[in-house]
Amino acid sequence: MGCPLPPIPGMRGKFYTASTRVDDHTMILGSWVCTKYSMDSMNMPPSTMNLRETGGMMRVKRLNKFRLRVYGEQENALKNICYMSATLWNELNYVRRQMLFKKCFRWKAGVEELYNSFKKILGSAITDEIIRKNDEAWRSFFKLMKMLREHRLPQNIRMVCPPGYWKDKKSGKKRLMTIVKYNSYRIVEENGRKFLIIAPRRLGLKIRITGSFKWHGKQGRLEIYYDELTGRWYGRQTVFVYIRPKHTTSPRRAFVDLGVINIITAWIEEDIQPIAFSGRPLLADWYYWTNKISYYQSIAKKINGKNTTKRIKKLYCKRKRRFRDRINKIVRKFIDICIAENVTEIVCGDLRGIREKCRKGNGSKKKNKIINNFWSYHYIVERLKTTAENYEIRLTLIDEHNTSSICPICGIRGRRIYRGLFHCKRCGRDMNADVVGALNIARKYGVKISSNIKLHPKSIKIKEIIIQRNNNPKKG
């Protein structure tokens, strides 16, 4: 099934690495800046996560999300554009999937015909951008297949599948979404209101948008999509911004242990007491919404024999949003502390593969439920990495094998008295288990642990963070 990446004749461009998710099965790991239908003179910004030092500034890719207020004729026009965009994606994807299954994959096959037919409906800019995004998805697939053959596939990716279709698997309805080229739209402000102007002559639209724009810089592609669950239109704008590196005379490091009861337990170099961000309120909130979902699922099962309804889907989304909102607040507060303490590097324990270990029958049913459903390790690490990067703080992942079973003071293997408490026989001291993990990560990194360090953390609760952010909204 895996085909080598064939070169495309006549193409010029550079290869960039990235980690942008295309769909549920595919993660972009690379893309070509110039495709058959792009022009070198347009200076298209790379659609990938590329860090570049330019005059002492770091160039990074960020995302603005906003809501589109469309009604009546405007909404009908936008629906037609998105429907035809999904049709183009699906037809091109069908051609390429069939070639893949027949083991005769060719990049050019079918592209010319589809481009010429759809550019009359969508315009050349949108047609070109959808074809380019499809190219990126397939290049990602081939690269993942190569990693699979070489046994280098990340542990969190269990299966590699070809790019999927823009449609709902159960209902078969097409997903209404489209992609607008970076130079084919403008966002303007008139009388205190923001408007999105889509430039192509055939599709000229002026749509009112709402929402705050956190990032301002060189704009990239714009993705417009319709959320079937809420009945609303949204836009995702890629922005390339420059971040000024942080300079400090006394750089320090923070060592982090991630967990469930304490989301982040950290020890900053040379500090006497570690800090811990409690995850108990998050877990209680998650259980509340989980029980509510179970209640409505039992009703739906009795009445119409279904496990899900529109209300249940909304509750799942609400549970997810509330969890991520609190994670974002915790991460931002931790990064603020790191900035105040002149931290230039965060060293975090690498827990990739923990879910696979729990699925093998290890641990209780409750533990497996929390690890596999509640706790989102990859999301926490991604937020740590992105937020730290905004302030030029580097994130390093380190293997944390045996960090929870060895005393950080004397280096002798100890044991846990019960969940959350570690005991060392030689030292005769009881220690917080998460603090033990953070300190052992520091020992693995070559840092000497002082004997007078406090072995129980200062706890920071999410309620305190929310109150502080409400009192200082600009700072938060």
The whole-angstrom separation of Cα 282 and Cα 331 is: 14
Give the pLDDT mean for 461-467.
79
Q: Write down the pLDDT at residue 438.
A: 93
Given this model, what pLDDT does residue 49 score? 37
If one counts every other C-beta atom within 10 angstroms of the C-beta of residue 15, the result is: 12
For residue 14, the model assigns a pLDDT of: 32
- Work out the mean pLDDT of the chain and round it to a whole number: 82
Instruction: Give the whole-angstrom CA distance, residue 307 versus residue 303.
Output: 10
pLDDT (0 to 100) of residue 370: 74
Most confident of 30-44, 69-83, 413-427: 69-83
Residue for token pair 């704009």: 219
Cα 396 vs. chain centroid, distance in angstroms?
17
Q: Count other Cβ atoms within 10 Å, centred on residue 10.
A: 7
- Percent of all residues in the chain with a pLDDT value above 90, rounded to a whole number: 52
3-state DSSP assignment of residue 228: coil
pTM over 0.85: no
Distances from the Cα of 239 to the Cαs of 126, 131, 220, 221, 244, in angstroms? 18, 21, 5, 8, 16
State pLDDT tens for residues 109-138. Answer: 999 999 999 998 998 999 999 999 999 999
Q: Is the pLDDT of residue 13 over 70?
A: no
Query: For residue 361, what pLDDT is reported?
Result: 57
Question: CA angle 60-163-120, nearest 5°?
Answer: 85
What is the mean predicted confidence (pLDDT) over 302-321? 91
pLDDT confidence tier of residue 364, bands split at 50, 70 and 90:
low
- Residue 471 pLDDT exceeds 80: no
Q: What is the DSSP letter of 373?
A: I
pLDDT of residue 328: 94
Q: What is the per-residue DSSP string for 407-425?
A: -TTT--B-EEEETTEEEET
| Residue in 221, 466, 463, 257 with CA at minimum distance from that of residue 349 | 257
Give the best-scoring range by mean pLDDT among 4-8, 139-143, 247-251.
139-143
Average pLDDT over residues 170-183: 92
Q: How confident is the model at residue 400 (pLDDT cuts 50, 70, 90)?
A: confident
For residue 353, pLDDT beyond 90:
no
Collapsed DSSP state (helix, strand, coil) of residue 21: strand
Does the structure show a pLDDT above 90 at 65?
Answer: yes
What is the rounded distance in angstroms from the CA atom of residue 373 to the CA atom of residue 363? Answer: 15
